[in-house]
Chain A
Amino acid sequence: MILKITKDDRNAKEGNIQSFFFYLLLFFLFLLGACSNTSNPSKNSMRLTTERLKRFSIQNRDFHLSDSSELMRAVMNVVQDQHYIIREVNNEFGILYADQTYDVGQPFSFFGIPITHFHKKPWTGGNLAIQFGPFDFVGEQNSLYIAKKNSSISVIFIPLTHQQGYQVHVSIEMRDFFNDGHVGEIWLVKDPKIYQKFFESLSKALYLQAQIQ
């Protein structure tokens, strides 16, 4: 009887080890899944999807102004107010590109709205991890942690076809950088509130400019 119990016990232990390795294998397969979509862009990569069309109203706003340089000056002021450094401006084609890099400990917000790590819902592939500053992923020495965040903003003026003025298109993107220089998570900001605030600030800047002149 005693012998039988120990045998069952041993079998149970072996079963545990086997299931442990099975789950370990599943875990590694899960990790490998992340590599699958890196070599080829998705099918809808270059198509005007319904999700993109829905975002038109969030990222675009019409401004009825005849002078594009006046609009550009206002955009530059708004972008600089949010601590961005302007990298490229072309007034002929109405484009502006600016970026800025933050340390992880720095407060992190646009137009007063904090940017959290929860930019996507977990079930759509978002990140569940909460990050409270430098975070160790592997051991104590030579450890990897997110050291910097970079944000870029692009503003484009598209002349309106039937009336005077420009359609202003804005997009804000974010990327994480590890301490060894590798790029971590990359995403496009899709929060309507942030774009709303941008256009509000732009309207205010244009009003102020008109008052000064």
Chain B
Amino acid sequence: MKNNQFIPLIFLLFLVACQGYSTPSNLRLTDLSIIQLRAMQIRQFDQLDITQMMSAMIKTLANLDFQIVRVDSSINLIEAIRLENNNIMQANVIITKLSVKGLTTIRVVLRYNQNFVTSPQTYQDFFDTLSHFLS
């Protein structure tokens, strides 16, 4: 008789396993704040000629073994992908001209397999390589 009292408890225990299927509170892939992310991903350059910037960016991506999948010249977007050692790296680059300050802004978004790249060093290395091809 005592044993029967544990049966509902066991079922409750099973239900705990279902908790993992609850709705996520947001769709973001990282705990980093948007400000932190943007600080990593965005750089400003004095170079005003967008076409020159786009060419340097394409050259940088190609030399880092990326394949350029798409270039949209009307909004200055570059989509690139790299396959190496069983991993997929995806890159999205948007180049914007800031007419007020006379600067050009570059935002690079990197995704590694299913994860968002959150290491500031990776972005820094990328911009260093870009500077090499801009000079």
**Residues of A that sit less than 8 Å from B by CB:** 37-41, 43, 45-48, 52, 56, 87-88, 90, 92-95, 97, 125, 152-154, 156, 158-159, 169, 171, 173-175, 183, 185-188
Contacts and interface: CB of A to CB of B under 8 A. Distances in A.
Contacts of B101: none
A92 B58 contact: no
B63 interface: yes
Nearest to A87: B69
Interface of B: 54-55, 58-59, 62-71, 73, 82-89, 110, 112-113, 115, 117, 119, 121-123, 125-126, 128-129, 132
A45 B50 CA distance: 26
Considering residues A46, A52, A56, A183, which has the most beta carbons from chain B within 10 angstroms of its beta carbon? A46
Contact of B54 (A47, A93, A125): A93
Contact of B125 (A46, A159, A169): A46
Given A46-B128, A90-B71, A171-B65, 16 more contacts: A41-B89, A46-B125, A46-B126, A52-B63, A52-B64, A88-B71, A90-B73, A93-B55, A97-B68, A152-B67, A158-B59, A169-B62, A173-B82, A173-B83, A183-B88, A185-B86
A97 B82 CA distance: 13
B76 to A, nearest CB: 10
Contacts of A39: 112-113, 115
Nearest to A93: B71
